Amino acid sequence: MERERLEFDVVFVGAGPAGLAGAIRLKQLAAERGREIEVCVIDKAPALGAHSLSGAVVDPRALAELLPDYRERGCPIEEEGLRDAVFYLTAAKALRLPWVPPFLHNEGAFVGSLSKLCAWLGAIAEEAGVNVFPGFAGVEALFDDAGGRVLGVRTGDKGVDKQGRRKGNFEPGVDLLAKVTVFAEGPRGSLLREAAKRLGLFDGRMPQVFETAVKEVIELPEASPFLTAPEAVIHTFGFPLGLHTKGGGFLYRMAERRVALGLVVGLDYADPMLEPYREFLRFKRHPLVAGLIAGGRVLQQGAKTLPVGGWYSMPRLCADGALVIGDSACTLNARRLKGVHTAMKSGMLAAETIAEALAAGDTGASALEGYRRRLEESWLGEELRQARNFSQALSRPPASRVVHLGAQMLSRGRGLVDPMPLHEDCSTLRPGVFREPAPVADLDGTLYLDKLTGVYLSGTRHEEDQPCHLHIPHPELCTTRCWQEYRSPCTRFCPGQVYEIETAEGGRPRLKLNPSNCLHCKTCEIKDPLRNILWNCPEGGGGPNWTIL
Ligand X SMILES: Cc1cc2nc3c(=O)[nH]c(=O)nc-3n(C[C@H](O)[C@H](O)[C@H](O)COP(=O)(O)OP(=O)(O)OC[C@H]3O[C@@H](n4cnc5c(N)ncnc54)[C@H](O)[C@@H]3O)c2cc1C
Interface positions with ligand X (CB under 6 A): 13-19, 42-45, 51-58, 114, 137-138, 184-186, 189-191, 213, 215, 262, 264, 304, 306, 326-327, 332, 337-341, 343, 537
Asked if residues 549 and 114 have their Cβ atoms less than 8 Å apart, the reply is yes
| Closest CB 536 distance from ligand X, rounded Å | 8
| Closest CB 307 distance from ligand X, rounded Å | 8
| Closest CB 533 distance from other proteins, rounded Å | 26
3-state SS record for 77-91: CCECCCCEEEEEECC
Rounded distance between C-alpha atoms, residue 259 and residue 29, angstroms: 38
Helices (H), 325-474: 340-360, 365-368, 370-377, 379-386, 390-394, 398-410, 451-457
CA proximity to 349, closest of 304, 309, 386, 383 = 383
Q: Distance from first CA to last CA of the chain, Å, rounded?
A: 40
Which of other proteins, ligand X, none does 267 bind, CB closer than 5 to 8 A by kind? none
For other proteins, the closer of residues 224 and 545 by Cβ is: 545
What does 365-386 look like in DSSP terms, one character per residue?
HHHHTHHHHHHHHSHHHHHHHH
Rounded distance between C-alpha atoms, residue 413 and residue 405, angstroms: 9
Q: What Å distances lie between residue 147 and 190, 316, 358, 377, CA to CA?
A: 18, 17, 22, 31
Give the binding site for other proteins (CB under 8 A). Answer: 4, 6, 46-47, 50, 131, 133, 135-136, 155, 158-159, 167-169, 171, 174, 176, 299-300, 445-446, 456, 459, 461, 545, 547-548
For ligand X, the closer of residues 112 and 272 by Cβ is: 112
Sign of CA dihedral 472, 477, 478, 482: negative
Which of ligand X, other proteins, none does 140 bind, CB closer than 5 to 8 A by kind? none
| Closest CB 57 distance from ligand X, rounded Å | 4
Asked if residues 192 and 285 have their Cβ atoms less than 8 Å apart, the reply is no
Rounded distance between C-alpha atoms, residue 251 and residue 242, angstroms: 19
Which of other proteins, ligand X, none does 213 bind, CB closer than 5 to 8 A by kind? ligand X
- Sort 377 into a burial class: Cβ within 10 Å, 0-12 / 13-18 / 19+: exposed
For ligand X, the closer of residues 286 and 335 by Cβ is: 335
For ligand X, the closer of residues 193 and 404 by Cβ is: 193
For ligand X, the closer of residues 52 and 460 by Cβ is: 52
| Closest CB 466 distance from ligand X, rounded Å | 16
CA proximity to 318, closest of 195, 425, 218, 422 = 195
Which of other proteins, ligand X, none does 61 bind, CB closer than 5 to 8 A by kind? none
Provide the 3-class DSSP secondary structure of residue 196.
helix
For other proteins, the closer of residues 78 and 525 by Cβ is: 78
What does 387-398 look like in DSSP terms, one character per residue?
TTTHHHHHTS-H
For ligand X, the closer of residues 346 and 363 by Cβ is: 346
Asked if residues 305 and 267 have their Cβ atoms less than 8 Å apart, the reply is yes
| Closest CB 444 distance from other proteins, rounded Å | 10
Which of ligand X, other proteins, none does 119 bind, CB closer than 5 to 8 A by kind? none
For other proteins, the closer of residues 227 and 299 by Cβ is: 299
For other proteins, the closer of residues 170 and 434 by Cβ is: 170
| Closest CB 270 distance from other proteins, rounded Å | 33
Which of other proteins, ligand X, none does 189 bind, CB closer than 5 to 8 A by kind? ligand X
Asked if residues 412 and 384 have their Cβ atoms less than 8 Å apart, the reply is no
Rounded distance between C-alpha atoms, residue 303 and residue 285, angstroms: 19
Asked if residues 206 and 419 have their Cβ atoms less than 8 Å apart, the reply is yes
| Closest CB 184 distance from other proteins, rounded Å | 18
| Closest CB 271 distance from ligand X, rounded Å | 21
| Closest CB 219 distance from other proteins, rounded Å | 9
Give the burial string for 396-429 (b: 16+ CB within 10 Å, else e).
beeeebeebbebbbeeebebeeeebebebbbebb
Which of other proteins, ligand X, none does 537 bind, CB closer than 5 to 8 A by kind? ligand X
Which of ligand X, other proteins, none does 54 bind, CB closer than 5 to 8 A by kind? ligand X
Rounded distance between C-alpha atoms, residue 384 and residue 530, angstroms: 31
Which of ligand X, other proteins, none does 159 bind, CB closer than 5 to 8 A by kind? other proteins
For other proteins, the closer of residues 36 and 145 by Cβ is: 36
| Closest CB 456 distance from other proteins, rounded Å | 8
For ligand X, the closer of residues 199 and 511 by Cβ is: 199
Which of ligand X, other proteins, none does 456 bind, CB closer than 5 to 8 A by kind? other proteins
For ligand X, the closer of residues 213 and 533 by Cβ is: 213
CA proximity to 522, closest of 267, 340, 250 = 267
| Closest CB 304 distance from ligand X, rounded Å | 4
Which of other proteins, ligand X, none does 405 bind, CB closer than 5 to 8 A by kind? none
What does 15-60 look like in DSSP terms, one character per residue?
-SHHHHHHHHHHHHHHHHHT----EEEEESSSSTTTT-----EE-T
For ligand X, the closer of residues 18 and 405 by Cβ is: 18
Which of ligand X, other proteins, none does 262 bind, CB closer than 5 to 8 A by kind? ligand X
| Closest CB 499 distance from other proteins, rounded Å | 18
Which of other proteins, ligand X, none does 15 bind, CB closer than 5 to 8 A by kind? ligand X
Rounded distance between C-alpha atoms, residue 219 and residue 256, angstroms: 8
Beta strand segments in 381-523, E: 470-471, 499-503, 509-513
